[in-house]
Structures are given as structure tokens and as C-alpha cells.
Amino acid sequence: MTDAQSSNARADRLAALPIREELKGQQPYGAPQLTVRAMLNVNETTHEVPADVVDAITKEVRVAAAQMNRYPDREFTVLREKLADFLSRDLPQAHFTAEHIWAANGSNEIMQHLLQAFAGPGRSVMAFPPTYSMYPLYARGTYSDYIPGTRNEDYTQSAEDVAAQIREHRPNVVILTSPNNPTGTALDLDVVRAAYEAAAESATIVIVDEAYGEFRQPGVASALELLEGRPRLVVTRTMSKAFAMAGGRLGYLAAAPEITDALRLVRLPYHLSIYTQAAACAALDHAESLMANVEKIKVQRDRIVEELTAMGLAPSPSDANFVFFGGLEDEKAVWRHLLDDGVLVRDVGIAGHLRVTAGTEEETTLFLDSLRRSLGR
């Protein structure tokens, strides 16, 4: 039996199972996982984890191992305190405490908790594609209706348009993404303010997904600044990107304490393992080392934007650790050329466009040199 025949036979067996109707024929989320010289397709931090961080995590996990016969702290109190302290340092004018913080196994589980609590059967979730492709999957997984909003032709969003769409559809949950994935563009806070005001008319929860928030350009504000006095506003973050913990799976949010109380109603017992808590706490204790890598990544990101522009391409302004760029006649041929040269980038399904993660200086050079050869420039 060939690989194709085996795959088809397995698909047939899956189709024969009594799975939910809305899951039939669907594809799971995924991206190519290939081992090449420059893996720049899933927005991981490609820099090595600093040695002091590795040592600290190893030490804390070893201590945790001696206690693994007991359940972990289900309130992960120390971790929430450290996350609150980190956000307070990033935003001195605000004062976050553990009561404002929730955490889970990646920001994916954070979103799942939020939709389990505030969406569900007979309720709706609105997001604005092109954006993170998991949003409709979150909705589907929580039996929620998904409403795809629209963006401007250049993929930006205006306060007036976002507010009008919210008032028209009156969703139960709105997800705004800043910086947006795959475009890398950040939202002006006026958009968040307008969205919240419109959402207040229907008691809608507004989530601002800031997974790449630490990479934003100087002077670009975070929606964290707007939390005070807005009890239905939620700002989500992750340690997968800036903290180089994609393999550690730790996402978190900041919101009014009553939001975190609502999420306790839907979380599974002891959902954060003792090892996850230990590793995250150790990383937060060494945030300075990890943020130094963030600054290096921003240099390469800005270099990519500058050099792509010089090639005559059209990169979008980026506040993330990746660059979305257009101007390609055949993005699939360019993607294949890059891969043949050992550079893996992301085809996001938008004609004429690709997305590349800002890697190390060496990885970035490999990407740029290969792209020039592909374009003959």
C-alpha cells in the first residue's frame, strides 16, 4: 500500500467514526515541521536560550521533581505574582497583582478558557481575518458561531469600521489581534477603545491578543494601558515568543479579577503542571537575559523590512518578530526556492505574499540571499 493509499484508508476510518458533524472533513491546525538550516515559519525565537536561563530552569525543575508525588498549586500563585510583576515593570503606570492574572498551557488554552466561559452554544465569536487561523477553530471547539469581520485593503483596521461591525453583529466575544498575525501590524489604542464602547452595548467581552507584544516598535502602546475601568476587556500574552518558551507552553492574560474568577469555573483541575510552573517562574526571574534576545530579533526584523523594500517588494510595517511581505508574482515558487536553499518560511495562503520569522543574523542573511537569487535581484 502506498503512502497515499494508507492516508486515504485512514481518512475513511476517521469518517466512519461518530464524530461531531461540524468536525467531519475538517483539517487540524498545523505548519510544516522540517529540519533545515533556517526554520523561519512558525515565529519561534531561533536564538539559543541564554545559559543562565537554562541553568535556572534546570535547577527549579529538579526541585519540582522531588515534589511530583503531590498535585501542583492549582492557583499557581507564585507564577501569577511573577507575571504581574513583569507586566508592572513593562507598564509602570499600571499596577497589576496576581488577582489580575490567569495562565494556562499556551495562549491557545487561554483562548479556550475564555470561549468556554463567555461563548458556547448559541453564542458567537468575532475576529477579523486575515488573522490567526486558530480563532475559528477555538470557536468550533466550543460550539460557538464564528463571525469573520473584514479589514481595510491594506489589512489595517479603523476605529469607526471595527465599532460598526461589532454593533451590526453583536457578538458575545470579539478578538482583536495586536500585532496581528500574519500581517505584523499593531492596533492604535483608539481602535480598542472604540471596540470596547461598541461592545458595551451588547455586554460583549473584548479580547486583545498581544502574543507578540514585547516586539512592538518604540512608542507603540499596549492595550494593557486600557484595562483599568474596563471590566470586560482582556489582554492575552504568551511566553512562547519573547521568553523563548515555545516548548514550555505558557500563556497568560491580564484582566479584571472577576474575569479570572469566571475562568476558574471552566479550567481542568491542576491544569498547570509543577514543571510548567517551575520553568516559567525561573524564566521570569531572568527576564532581562531573554529580553536582550528580543532586542536582537527586532534588529533583524527591521533589517528584513529595509532590505525587502530595497528589492522592490512590499513588506508590511511590523511590530512582531516576523515580516509579512507582498509583491511576489508566484509566492509558491519562491517558497519552494527558499526551501531548496534550506530556508523554511510560511505560505499563509494570501496570493503574492509570504511571511518570514526574524531569526539570527546568520539565518536572516540566508533568507535574504536566497530570496535575491529567487527574484534575480
Regarding whether 256 and 112 lie in a shared domain, the answer is yes
Of 285, 312, 342, the one marking the end of a domain is: 285
Strands 173-177 and 124-127: parallel
Instruction: Output the domain CATH number for residue 307.
Output: 3.90.1150.10
pTM of the predicted structure, to 2 decimals: 0.93
The series of mean pLDDT values per 10 residues for the chain, 377 residues long, is 75 86 78 85 94 97 97 97 94 87 97 98 98 95 97 96 98 98 97 98 97 96 96 98 96 98 96 98 96 97 98 96 97 97 96 97 98 92
Q: Tell me, what amino acid is at 159?
A: A
Q: Tell me, what amino acid is at 314?
A: A
* Gyration radius from the chain CA atoms: 21
Is there a domain that residue 78 lies in? yes
Of 285, 300, 324, the one marking the end of a domain is: 285
Regarding whether 231 and 305 lie in a shared domain, the answer is no
Regarding whether 217 and 86 lie in a shared domain, the answer is yes
Is there a domain that residue 8 lies in? no
pLDDT of residue 32: 67
Is there a domain that residue 61 lies in? yes
Is there a domain that residue 3 lies in? no
**Contact call for residues 253 and 237 (beta carbons, < 8 A):** yes
pLDDT of residue 16: 87
Regarding whether 132 and 280 lie in a shared domain, the answer is yes
Regarding whether 177 and 44 lie in a shared domain, the answer is no
Domain that holds residue 117: 51-285
Instruction: Output the domain CATH number for residue 222.
Output: 3.40.640.10
Regarding whether 237 and 134 lie in a shared domain, the answer is yes
Number of Cβ within 10 Å of residue 87's Cβ equals 22
Regarding whether 44 and 75 lie in a shared domain, the answer is no
How far apart are the C-alpha atoms of 293 and 106, rounded to whole Å?
20
pLDDT of residue 1: 67
How far apart are the C-alpha atoms of 119 and 142, rounded to whole Å?
7
Regarding whether 326 and 182 lie in a shared domain, the answer is no
Cis-peptide into 136, omega within 30 deg: no
Regarding whether 366 and 280 lie in a shared domain, the answer is no
The kind and range of the H/E element at 233 are strand 233-238
Is there a domain that residue 6 lies in? no
Is there a domain that residue 7 lies in? no
Strands 145-148 and 124-127: parallel
Is there a domain that residue 344 lies in? yes
Total of domains in the chain: 2
